[in-house]
Chains A and B, each alone.
Chain A
Amino acid sequence: MDEKKKVILKLEHISQSYVVNSQVKDAVEDVSLEVYDNEFLVILGPGHCGKTVLMNIIAGLEKPVGGAVYLDGEQVEGSDKRIGMVFQSLALMPWKTVMANVEFGPEVAGVPKEERRKTAQKYIDLVGLKGFEKSYPHELSGGMKQRVGIARAYTNNPEILLMDEPFGQLDAQTRYAMEEEVLRIWEKEKRTIIFVTNNIEEAVYLGDRIVLLSNCPAKVKEIYDLKNLARPRNTTDPEFLRIRTEISDNTDLAL
């Protein structure tokens, strides 16, 4: 089965360090990873370092001190429109409507209005925000704002979607709702998704594979293949809970 999987993204020996108070702090240490086409890959990190750095490096927002990222076999230099991002902080423009936020990418890229409206409307409908096109972000709930962020990322038609702890600020129930939503959207519009979280239950619910990172500096500690855990997954299924416990036992308690 592995031979048939197409590798779309490759991280080779990625390392990142910063100088903090004139000392070198390692954030990411020698991370190598292959990401398959259209898979839902979860990067799970219990600690406070490395995850967002790794996302930023893949998105081309920062340059690693060591290693390289390859997309479709070519090295990624700087930001690339084939890689889209959904931020934890949303990064919506508060003075723009839902529609204007979602169509912003193609607008900047010079796509004619009619065409970009059509694409934007398609993804607004897909994330369940039909009827809210003219609303402003402050009129929406936390879950709805995240939907705008997801629609915006899809509208740019990326090959790879990076989601950096998008549901970190939501309550437990809204989080379940959004996890179901993101899977529903992914089933309809297959993309490669790299989803970062520190929540083990969320990781087991979503991932085809889970890459477990160690605490600072982030290294790949283990990769779990959950392809055989049938979807839709049930968070109280014994096998689900067994995997959750296994991963939890493999992480350090970060008090």
Chain B
Amino acid sequence: MSNTVNKDENKVRVEHLTKFFGDLHVLDDVSFNIKKGEFLCVVGPTGCGKTTFLNLLTRIYMPTKGELYIDNEPADPKKHNLAVVFQEPSSMPWLTVEQNLRFGMEIKHLPKHEIDKRVENIINLLGLQEFRNQYPHQLSISTAQRIIIGRAFAMQPDLLLMDEPYGQMDIKLRFYLEDEVIRLWREMGTTVVFITHNIEEAVYLAERVLILTNKPAKIKEEVKIDLPRPRDVSSPEFIEIRNHITDQIKWW
């Protein structure tokens, strides 16, 4: 599978997204587009409404105002294929690694040969052959999370949402997993929205970073990142972007 998507095509349009919980104004008139196959990171100060933002994109919550379009149609989880990866690995404990990878595709009634093909592809991309018949409790947290991420990519979703999947992992492991997610993304051409508190992570991963303001969250700034990959986190260009984004949201 090669990445043959037309990069100029808008896959997702978010228009005037606004959310109130009672009197609490969480999201204020947020509009932006996501191109097909783009890797977009969203950062913002702690408590700014990042998770609400994500839950609006997944349609777990409905917006107070505004709309989300996928391929020019209002997003509908029944029609569109939305995949979500949370901070805690969310595998089914009674299913093996391979069964977990198949699960979503079976629900979507994909043909068996297609499921077989995609599962093999993901297992090979992740190098997880030795784990295929194991259960989640036999895996480390990081391996369990890799399975969930592989499962999400295998769905070939219209939109893949990741909510701080590497939250508490230290740099060595994090860089390894970040390289892996970039490899999957490039191979599969998936459209990704990745939410994080960690600015170094956002600059390492993203083609574009959306910076949110404090509650009620608006888009404060959009930063395009075209540094070559793999990115060098010690390079002056990288540090300059990292410092700039930090300055925009720093509260600590």
Give the B-binding residues of A (Cβ under 8 A).
46, 168-169, 171-174, 176-177, 180, 198-201, 236, 238, 241-242, 244-245, 248, 251, 253-255
Contact = CB atoms under 8 A, between A and B. Distances in A.
> Which of B140, B167, B172, B239 is the most central at the interface, judged by chain A CB atoms within 10 Å of its CB?
B172
Contacts of B186: none
Given A46-B170, A173-B46, 5 more contacts: A171-B197, A172-B196, A172-B197, A177-B251, A236-B243
22 contacts: A46-B170, A46-B172, A172-B197, A173-B45, A173-B197, A173-B252, A174-B46, A176-B252, A177-B252, A199-B170, A200-B170, A236-B246, A241-B234, A242-B234, A244-B171, A248-B172, A251-B172, A253-B173, A253-B176, A254-B142, A254-B173, A255-B176
Interface in B177-214: 196-199
Contacts of A180: 252
Contacts of A172: 167, 196-199
B242 interface: yes
B234 A245 contact: yes
Contacts of A245: 234
A199 B199 CA distance: 16
B203 to A, nearest CB: 10
Nearest to B87: A171
Interface residues of B, number: 26
Interface string B225-249: 0000000011000010011001001
Contact of A236 (B45, B173, B239): B239
B48 to A, nearest CB: 10
> Which of B46, B198, B234 is the most central at the interface, judged by chain A CB atoms within 10 Å of its CB?
B46
Contact of B168 (A169, A174, A200): A169
A122 to B, nearest CB: 24
Contacts of A46: 170, 172
B81 interface: no
B49 to A, nearest CB: 14
Contacts of B233: 241
A169 B164 CA distance: 13
A236 B252 CA distance: 16
Nearest to A199: B170
Contacts of A199: 170-171
B234 A171 contact: no
A248 B200 CA distance: 16
Interface string B113-153: 00000000000000000000000000010110000000000
A145 B252 CA distance: 16
A7 B198 CA distance: 38
B170 A171 contact: no
B45 A198 contact: no
B102 to A, nearest CB: 23
Nearest to B143: A255
Nearest to A177: B252
Contacts of B252: 173-174, 176-177, 180
Contact of A200 (B164, B167, B172): B172
Given A180-B252, A241-B234, A248 B171 contact: yes
A94 B143 CA distance: 35
A200 B170 CA distance: 7
Contacts of B251: 173, 177
A244 B251 CA distance: 24
Contacts of B173: 253-255
Contacts of B170: 46, 198-200
B142 A255 contact: yes
A169 B88 CA distance: 12
Contacts of B249: 173
> Which of A236, A241, A248 is the most central at the interface, judged by chain B CB atoms within 10 Å of its CB?
A236
> Which of A46, A248, A255 is the most central at the interface, judged by chain B CB atoms within 10 Å of its CB?
A255
A39 to B, nearest CB: 23
B176 to A, nearest CB: 6
Contacts of B234: 238, 241-242, 245
